[in-house]
């Protein structure tokens, strides 16, 4: 049986949503003091992608998808930490 492509589409939406949420860190996109809309827009993109990836897999593959989503989030947390260090050192 062929593997479904829907979980990969869900991963794409997760990465896209977290990327949009990271735009709120850029002062050119969201000036200091303004409401950070990219965080909420990115979350609105991330959550359907995570649900798509998680709930459309069956059986033991669901744990694998959950771990991959966790590593995607950890990767973005690492990128945000590096960016914050670079921004605040300048």
Question: What is the per-residue pLDDT across 31-80, written as a single tens digit (0 to 9) for each?
Answer: 888 888 888 999 999 999 999 998 888 888 888 888 989 999 999 999 88
**Could you report the per-residue pLDDT of 8-22, keeping only the tens digit for each?**
899 999 999 999 988
pTM: 0.80
H/E run at residue 9: helix 6-22
Contact 13, 44 (CB under 8 A): no
Per-residue burial over 23-38, b = 16 or more CB atoms within 10 Å of its CB, e = otherwise: bbbeeeebeeeeeeeb
Where do the structural domains in the chain lie, given as residue ranges?
A: 7-23+38-89
């Amino acid at each position: 049986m062929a593997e479904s492509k829907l979980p990969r589409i869900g991963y794409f939406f997760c990465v896209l949503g977290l990327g949009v949420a990271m735009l709120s860190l850029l002062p050119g996109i969201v000036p200091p003091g303004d409401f950070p809309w990219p965080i909420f827009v990115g979350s609105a993109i991330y959550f359907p992608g995570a649900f798509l990836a998680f709930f459309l897999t069956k059986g033991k593959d669901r744990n694998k998808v959950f771990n991959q989503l966790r590593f995607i989030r950890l990767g973005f947390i690492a990128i945000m930490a590096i960016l914050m260090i670079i921004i605040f050192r300048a």
